[in-house]
Amino acid sequence: MQPSLPGKAQATLREVLPRLVLSPSLFLILLFVYGFIIYTGYLSLTDSRMLPSYDLEGLGNYAKLWGQRNWLIALQNLAIFGILYIAICSVLGLVLAILLDQKIRGEGILRPIYLYPMALSFIVTGTAWKWFLDPGLGLENTMHLWGWESFTFNWIKDRNMAIYTVVIAAVWQSSGFVMAMFLAGLRGIDSEILKAAQMDGASRWSLYTRIVIPQLRPVFLSAFVVLAHLAIKAYDLVIALTNGGPGRATELPATFMYSYTFTRNQMGVGASSAVIMLAMIASIIVPYLYSELRERR
């Protein structure tokens, strides 16, 4: 039977309609994500100051960027913050997940308590910890009032230690989330394997170190990717907690980019720092997404 002409038209519409539905989103993503990446990449090669300029000047901004002490401080802080944040969150998350997985009564109450900070804005977290860590108002003062006169905890005012307060607040916010990821991983392990290992007389410790933790490797990878990309993007928390200070002691790439672009009128340098940030994230995310998408086929 030959399809009639309207039928043909209908068939064509049927073919095209799905793509038509997808096209606004694709357009938005192509323009606002990839187009903007290209635009910012281009700006990083120009002599833009307060306003975008389209006069190319080569890699001058990158040379300037790497000659900036502030940028080097920001990278050093990111390294300290990123490594400690990822390491502590992973260890704490794993330990909490293992402890919670011991048939705990009240797990249903404890788990949401560990996880709720993830629902808060970093600005709220920053505000809470800012006063909590304030020597005159918070923990130090409390310890003094409780009779521990010699207790000092003034990291937030100390140039050399302030970056660690960012770690403290960020770990508080994210570790429960990592715990939830590990817990889901633990619950997904085949219990037969564990039973068999126990029959063979494996101790509790070796059960975990030899069998359980190695099986959690994919969770470690996911946790690493999520935490690393959060670390590189970290902005709000620093703004609320220390505002980059004292001095420039808690400058991170994200705060650097913002201040150079919008307050210091060095848009070219700001754009080049944004490109470096994107490159850092892409080097972690692209291989991860690639392997995840391939596996799923």
Partner 1 sequence: MSRSTQPSFRTGKILRAALYSVLILFAVYYLLPLFVMLVNSVKTLDEIRGGNMMSLPEAFTIEPWLVAWSKAQIGVEPTGLSPYFINSIMMVVPAVAISTALGAMNGYVLTKWRFPGDKIIFGLMLFACFIPFQIVLIPMARVLGMIGIAGTTSGLVLVHVVYGLGFTTLFFRNYYAAFPDELIKAAKMDGAGFWRTFTRILLPSSGPIIVVTVIWQFTNIWNDFLFGASFADFDSMPMTVALNNLVSSSTGVKEYNVHFAGAVLAALPTLIVYVVSGRYFVRGLMAGAVKG
As a whole number of Å, the end-to-end CA separation of the chain is 37
Rounded CA-CA distance 140/121 in Å is 25
By CB under 8 A, what part of segment 278-297 binds partner 1? 278, 281-282, 285-286, 288-289, 292-293, 295-296
CB 172 within 8 A of CB 129: yes
Nearer to partner 1, 163 or 270 (CB): 270
By CB under 8 A, what part of segment 152-211 binds partner 1? 172, 176-177, 180-181, 184, 186-191, 194-195, 198, 204, 207
CB 198 within 8 A of CB 112: no
Nearer to partner 1, 229 or 264 (CB): 229
Nearer to partner 1, 45 or 181 (CB): 181
CB 297 to partner 1: min, Å: 9
Rounded CA-CA distance 203/210 in Å is 10
Is residue 252 at the binding interface for partner 1, with CB under 8 A as the rule? no
CB 219 within 8 A of CB 187: no
Single residue of 28, 63, 72, 196 touching partner 1 by CB under 8 A: 28
Tokens of 215: 């099986």
Rounded CA-CA distance 180/96 in Å is 9
Query: How far out from the chain centre does Cα 230 lie?
Result: 1
CB 223 to partner 1: min, Å: 8
Tokens of 156: 């937030």
Single residue of 102, 150, 160, 263 touching partner 1 by CB under 8 A: 102
**Sign of the dihedral defined by the CA atoms of residues 114, 156, 250, 262, in that order:** positive
- Number of residues located near partner 1, criterion CB under 8 A: 109
CB 268 to partner 1: min, Å: 10
φ, ψ dihedrals at 121, nearest 5°: -75, 145
Single residue of 9, 11, 12, 39 touching partner 1 by CB under 8 A: 39
Is residue 65 at the binding interface for partner 1, with CB under 8 A as the rule? no
By CB under 8 A, what part of segment 119-148 binds partner 1? 119-125, 127-132, 137-138, 141-142, 145-146
φ, ψ dihedrals at 282, nearest 5°: -60, -35
Q: Where are the alpha helices (DSSP H) in 146-266?
A: 162-187, 191-199, 204-206, 213-215, 217-233, 236-241, 253-258
Rounded CA-CA distance 237/166 in Å is 7
Is residue 213 at the binding interface for partner 1, with CB under 8 A as the rule? no
CB 1 to partner 1: min, Å: 15
Tokens of 53: 């300029």
CB 163 to partner 1: min, Å: 19
Interface mask (CB under 8 A) for partner 1, residues 214-243, using x and -?
Answer: --------xx-xx--x--xx-xx--xx--x
Is residue 18 at the binding interface for partner 1, with CB under 8 A as the rule? yes
Is residue 110 at the binding interface for partner 1, with CB under 8 A as the rule? yes
CB 162 to partner 1: min, Å: 16
Single residue of 7, 9, 12, 29 touching partner 1 by CB under 8 A: 29
Single residue of 73, 78, 94, 274 touching partner 1 by CB under 8 A: 274
Is residue 275 at the binding interface for partner 1, with CB under 8 A as the rule? yes
CB 11 within 8 A of CB 3: yes
Does the bond joining 246 to the residue before it have cis omega, within 30 degrees of 0?
yes
